[in-house]
A and B are shown apart, each in its own frame.
Chain A
């Protein structure tokens, strides 16, 4: 049992056929191996340069700029904590945090529930699985494109597709994207629409659950529902956790759809002012680079914080079978 469950805890390893014995080789155990320092650093040279100038360097630079007033013209003036204290009273910042949290905490659970439900249906040896899987996966590839955001504007517009269909049933819809109460929901629907990627991961995980557990449960008289909650869910928790972390991180960074659907404004009345949109506007609309850097750091702290909370909480609900 432990053998099977351990495999499931590492979904990445199994798909690429990583035979267990390479683990020993990887660590160089039992082999005479000299260090390849020079060769390794040469192979890594581009990556080191990238690390210094494109990733880690800018993170640190961003920390420095967050304590300055800088508009690209002239130098950066040190202002201490001013940018951070300004956040406390910045109403638009609070709005943007509210919008982003609402989006993340509603759309991610819905998306994962949908992904799991479909994966469960498809896992039952349905004929034509590859076709269904592809069809459901397609939106995940397209979802972040400008063209889809444009389509969404039309689908949920006042005289858009949804309202035309509602009119068939005699229901008069509103202009979903232009109504402050509903605009965010259309973006949530868009994110749920891209449930295909987590679904594929769930499918890979479900395939790892040995059939005999279900058979044993059935012999013991467990109902379908009972089997789902007592066999599938516990054994799938590592995958659920994996998907949750991944989708939350990516949902926090949503930008394109909100930008295009709202015409770059985050409107109507800031109802789709995502954090990233406000950050873009601050940095590249008003060129307030100091404040934008402080916002960037807050985003980093928020994402890292939620990821840490996820990992901490996972001790209590993720089942690794040991």
Chain B
């Protein structure tokens, strides 16, 4: 019953090939539909604004690089001012997360201490804590410290390991490292600080890279906390500047607005290309986008 003639088998193979072809066709088509808005945005950033309202195509009829220069200077400060502000916040957040989260992770993964189970479950619970629940008291605290319109409210919490998601990610990673190395180092008289700095951290590079990339993308995209803590235009970051742009603009400046939006997405796209390996591993490990 299972035996088939060679002709039937060849027909099967052809059917299989045809099936594969259609699967690929479907996947490519679907991918194009998914990416079309993005491609259209980039293409539109080179179109005269009037064409954005009439031309759904991807190739600009008239090529206008002027949108970029116009958008760059359209707001109170030149756009690199906002990019610089964003970069300060991002750099501070990355440094904070790398340092504070890896320290906490080392304690959870390698040390035995009183209350470990309790603290570990508290840590897991704070991963899911919506920022909206704590934002009001945080605002009151930072207002009392006179930190509104500074970058401290955005950076200091990272130095205090409040992005518990990354603690969890690194705990998972450190647990997978062989303990023999630490034990050997301990026998040789190394203290925890040296074991952490010389052995655990260097071996954790992949987890640190995942942390750095995700922190970059999330902080660069973050809108809610920057909207609340930065109200002075001089302190605006890229997302807040874009938001002011979209609110203040008239129908005539969609070209420049698209140009600046494309610039805002650029770094994420760059990190995405460079760090795909870490990103995919990061979400497959922990399930967070």
A: residues with CB less than 8 A from B are: 11-13, 15-19, 22, 25-26, 28, 33-37, 39-41, 43-44, 46-47, 49-51, 53-59, 61-62, 65, 72, 118, 121-122, 124, 126-128, 130, 132-148, 150-155, 159, 161, 164-165, 168, 193-194, 196-197, 200-201, 203-204, 242-243, 246, 249-250, 252-253, 255-256, 259-260, 263-264, 276, 279-280, 283-284, 289, 292-293, 296-297, 299-300, 303, 307
Chain A: CB-nearest residue to B153: A54
Nearest-Cβ distance from residue B177 to partner chain A, whole angstroms: 9
Chain A: CB-nearest residue to B100: A46
- Tell me what chain B mostly uses at the interface: helix, strand, loop, or mixed: helix
Q: Are B284 and A37 in contact (CB under 8 A)?
A: no
Task: State the 10 A-B residue pairs at the shortest beta-carbon distance, nearest first.
Answer: A50-B160, A197-B289, A40-B113, A58-B137, A147-B261, A61-B137, A58-B134, A43-B107, A164-B56, A47-B161
Contact for B123 among A47, A147, A249, A276, CB less than 8 A: A47
Q: Are A204 and B284 in contact (CB under 8 A)?
A: yes
What is the bound-complex CA distance between A121 and B107, given in angstroms?
Answer: 42
Which of the candidate stretches B6-14, B60-68, B168-176 sits at the interface with the other chain? B168-176
Contact for A146 among B30, B242, B287, B288, CB less than 8 A: B242
Chain A: CB-nearest residue to B193: A39
Contact for A145 among B53, B116, B258, B264, CB less than 8 A: B264
Q: What number of B residues sit within 8 Å (CB to CB) of A?
A: 96
- Identify the interface centre among A53, A242, A292: most chain B CB within 10 Å of its CB: A53
B: residues with CB less than 8 A from A are: 20, 23-24, 26-27, 30-31, 34-35, 37-38, 40-41, 44, 52-56, 100, 103-104, 106-107, 111-114, 116, 119, 122-123, 126, 128-141, 143, 157, 159-162, 167, 172-173, 175-176, 179, 191-192, 196, 217, 220-221, 223-224, 227-228, 238-239, 242-243, 246-247, 254, 257-258, 261-262, 264-265, 268-269, 272, 276, 279-281, 283-289
Chain A: CB-nearest residue to B52: A154
Q: Are A150 and B242 in contact (CB under 8 A)?
A: yes
- Tell me what chain A mostly uses at the interface: helix, strand, loop, or mixed: helix
Contact for B136 among A49, A62, A159, A256, CB less than 8 A: A62
Chain B residues, CB < 8 A from A154: 41, 44, 52, 254, 258
What is the bound-complex CA distance between A40 and B116, given in angstroms?
Answer: 9
Q: Are B34 and A46 in contact (CB under 8 A)?
A: no
- Identify the interface centre among B53, B126, B134, B265: most chain A CB within 10 Å of its CB: B134
Chain A residues, CB < 8 A from B24: 126-128
